[in-house]
Structure 1
Amino acid sequence: MKELRIEKSDSNQRFDKYLKRVLPNASTSFIYKMLRKKNITLNDKKADGSEKLNTGDDVKIWFSDETFEKMAGTSDKDLLYYSIKEIDNDIDIVFEDDDMIIINKPAGVKSQKDAPSDVSINEMAISYLIASDQLSEESFKHFHPSVCNRLDRNTSGIVLFAKNLHAAQQLGAALKERSCKKLYRAVVLGRIDDNQQIEGFLSKDEATNKVSISEKETKDSKPIKTAYRPISHVGDDFTLLEIHLITGRTHQIRAHLASIGHPILGDNKYGNTIINKERKVRGQLLHAYSIEFEDGRKFVCDLPREFNGYL
């Protein structure tokens, strides 16, 4: 018999989905059969698999050791876990509690990997959890902690990382419903003196991974809203803006500001490559600066040193 105690990372999910993670080599029909026969119990009671798990729940699986190991694959070493364990875990932590980590992602690092050879802030954060004894191989088999929002590779700043399923659900809902307020800071070309909210329609070319902005709606375009206020100026040449991303589309801030004649300094996709070269800027000066949650908690991520001289 195998007895399992539900940890926080496994709570707030359906019992059958949890069992499928614990017993990945078992068929769904086999799991339901074991539930019906009370070979798998929840808090010493018969369960049908639809129950929502809570921290501290007791699961008993009445299998022989040989059957459990076969269904759970426990004799197999999790190669992904051990490969991530070796990754650099030197992340800049803005805030951490039992549920989440708020990370200051540097420019040049991806939020999540797009190819097997990539190393992203996501893998670095998982490696940090392993190194700090917060994530065991067994827990990793059931749930992979992950970032909840993505920044462009060359955008720095706040990335939210969920340690458990409950946090992933809560943060995901807050981001989707826009109940949290995200502010960015950017250095743009030209002088902007007034607060403004601009609107338009964004279309993406998948082949070039580039977007375009138009004033009128077109086929497959999506509405966008971007608000900003000037914070400081460098003469008439540059303005440091605080930007409220009201809608969150691919490359929205970069393309929207470029469309009104104020591209972000250092942005070679939508900006002025001649000025970028003259200023010798390493990467675009766009930074996810702060996030404020519905409960009033606010976290600020200091600007990178590349912003010095434009503040």
Structure 2
Amino acid sequence: MAQTSSDNVRTFVVADDDDGIRLDRWFKRHLPDVSFNIVSRWARTGQLRLDGKRVAPGDRIEAGQTLRVPPAEAAPAEGPGAKPKRIITPLTEDEEAFVREMVMAKGRDWYVLNKPPGLATQGGTKTNQHLDRLLDGLANDEGQRPKLVHRLDKDTSGVLLVARTAKAAAHFAKAFSGRTARKVYWALITGVPSREEGMIDAPLAKQPGTGGEKMHVDEENGLPAKTRYRLIERAGNRAAWVELQPLTGRTHQLRAHMAAIGHPIVGDAKYGGADAFLTGGISRKLHLHARRLKIDGTDGKPIDHTADLPAHFEESLATLGFDRMLGEMLPLDNPDPAKSPETKAKRTAAHAKAYRKARKGERRSRGGSTPEKPARKPRRK
């Protein structure tokens, strides 16, 4: 609820749904016409107050606090050099149906979507159709719309979580930033890595001259970036189907890392150039899919969902002769096959079987020498 004084200063009380969010996010949600630069200037000059105290755009706000906002500033005069106003158009029935079809599962304060390839997560220059806009189609009866808490590249498909309340958004955002959320991607890559599984540890930075649109490995100035990969199946030396787990969350991390080791993701012209494409009827679309997401909900219970592949990825698997059943994932906490519960159980069973067989031979020998127990195989490191 907003109140306006005689000098047009506005006063707002922070609602429960906004508890814990950043102040600049509050403005984007409730006063979208106020730019970040204006908010920063108000804060810098002391015109913006929270419970009577100065506040910065990045500060977190709490429910019940009182926010003092200066009078709205007049819009700049329109002219030849003025930027056109952004027009927000309501969703059509087809657009509402489109976003509802993406919903794989929902909870009290979240939705899990399967984002199709080709749909941007957020808007930008010349990008008017994006998921953030379509989320209006999932608004509740009070008009509250879900909130993005992470993103996927435009041409990457798969699991994407959105929060239905501000409190849930803060919870999930913390989980993603703290790396407690576990994500598994599937990708088709050109060529075959020399090792069946490994860790790519290569710092990433924005590549100069690309306007921040492309990343590259930069050992001196890059931010830490780690990706675990595992080979699922290979098509000779031509291509491979791999499972990828990003242990950090850098922009374009999986794409940049796979290209850096000489095996770009199929269809990724930005990082692989002409080497990222396969002949023989393989789609030229990007073959990167967020297959699975596991994250703790606000109630402590795990949210764990798997997204079906888009049509072009499924067709490429079939064309290359890959066995779809081999894609069943290992447990997220046991990425090394040698350390998985299934492998350990098989080894234990094999050892027990060998021991029983030796004991049976001992009984048949009727007093013969007692055989030694089979030597335990050395554990793989």
TM-score scaled to structure 2, two decimals? 0.57
Structure 2 residue 106 is matched with structure 1 residue 96: yes
CA contact (8 A) 2:112 2:161 kept: yes
Letter in 1 for 2:128: D
Taking the TM superposition and a 5 Å limit, the aligned residue runs for 1:295-310 are 295-308=301-314, 309-310=316-317
CA contact (8 A) 1:99 1:164 kept: yes
Q: Partner of 2:203: helix, strand, or coil?
A: strand
CA contact (8 A) 1:129 1:135 kept: no
CA contact (8 A) 1:8 1:164 kept: no
Q: Give the Cα–Cα distance (whole angstroms) in 1 for the partners of residues 104 and 260 of structure 2.
A: 33
Report the counterpart of residue 290 of structure 1 in structure 2.
292
Report the counterpart of residue 169 of structure 2 in structure 1.
168
Further displaced range: 251-260 or 232-241: 232-241
Q: Give the Cα–Cα distance (whole angstroms) in 1 for the partners of residues 226 and 49 of structure 2.
A: 50
CA contact (8 A) 1:199 1:225 kept: yes
Relative to 1, partners in 2 of residues 1:160 and 1:51: Cα closer, same or farther, differing over 3 Å?
Answer: closer
Relative to 1, partners in 2 of residues 1:260 and 1:145: Cα closer, same or farther, differing over 3 Å?
Answer: same
- Shift of the alpha carbon at 1:237? 1.4
Q: Give the Cα–Cα distance (whole angstroms) in 2 for the partners of residues 18 and 268 of structure 1.
A: 38
RMSD: 3.9
Relative to 1, partners in 2 of residues 1:7 and 1:80: Cα closer, same or farther, differing over 3 Å?
Answer: farther
Structure 2 residue 220 is matched with structure 1 residue 210: no
Relative to 1, partners in 2 of residues 1:275 and 1:173: Cα closer, same or farther, differing over 3 Å?
Answer: closer
Q: Give the Cα–Cα distance (whole angstroms) in 1 for the partners of residues 126 and 164 of structure 2.
A: 22
Q: Give the Cα–Cα distance (whole angstroms) in 2 for the partners of residues 247 and 232 of structure 1.
A: 25
Greater radius of gyration (CA): 2
- Shift of the alpha carbon at 1:12? 6.0
Superimposed CA distance per residue, residues 95-142 of structure 1 (whole angstroms, 9 cap, x where no aligned partner): 11231111111111100001375111111122x224xx5442xx5xxx
* Larger RCO (CA under 8 A, 6+ residues apart): 1
CA contact (8 A) 1:112 1:122 kept: yes
Q: Give the Cα–Cα distance (whole angstroms) in 2 for the partners of residues 31 and 224 of structure 1.
A: 37
Q: Partner of 1:271: helix, strand, or coil?
A: helix
Q: Give the Cα–Cα distance (whole angstroms) in 1 for the partners of residues 148 and 237 of structure 2.
A: 39
Q: Give the Cα–Cα distance (whole angstroms) in 2 for the partners of residues 203 and 231 of structure 1.
A: 29
Taking the TM superposition and a 5 Å limit, the aligned residue runs for 1:1-311 are 9-10=17-18, 21=30, 52=63, 83-86=89-92, 88-89=95-96, 90-91=98-99, 92-115=102-125, 118-126=128-136, 128-130=137-139, 133-136=140-143, 139=144, 145-192=146-193, 194-205=196-207, 207-208=209-210, 209-214=213-218, 217-218=219-220, 220-273=221-274, 276=277, 278=279, 279-294=281-296, 295-308=301-314, 309-310=316-317, 311=322
CA contact (8 A) 1:111 1:153 kept: yes
CA contact (8 A) 2:158 2:290 kept: yes
Relative to 1, partners in 2 of residues 1:190 and 1:182: Cα closer, same or farther, differing over 3 Å?
Answer: same
- Shift of the alpha carbon at 1:212? 1.4
Relative to 1, partners in 2 of residues 1:129 and 1:242: Cα closer, same or farther, differing over 3 Å?
Answer: same
Letter in 1 for 2:303: R
Q: Give the Cα–Cα distance (whole angstroms) in 2 for the partners of residues 18 and 114 of structure 1.
A: 20
Further displaced range: 267-276 or 179-188: 267-276
Relative to 1, partners in 2 of residues 1:9 and 1:235: Cα closer, same or farther, differing over 3 Å?
Answer: same
Letter in 1 for 2:294: E
Letter in 2 for 1:129: L
Give 5+ residue unaligned stretches, structure 2. Answer: 3-13, 35-41, 53-60, 65-71, 73-84, 323-381
CA contact (8 A) 1:188 1:262 kept: yes
Relative to 1, partners in 2 of residues 1:112 and 1:275: Cα closer, same or farther, differing over 3 Å?
Answer: closer
How many residues are treated as equivalent by the alignment? 259
Letter in 2 for 1:201: P
CA contact (8 A) 2:190 2:276 kept: no
Give 5+ residue unaligned stretches, structure 1. Answer: 34-49, 54-70, 72-78
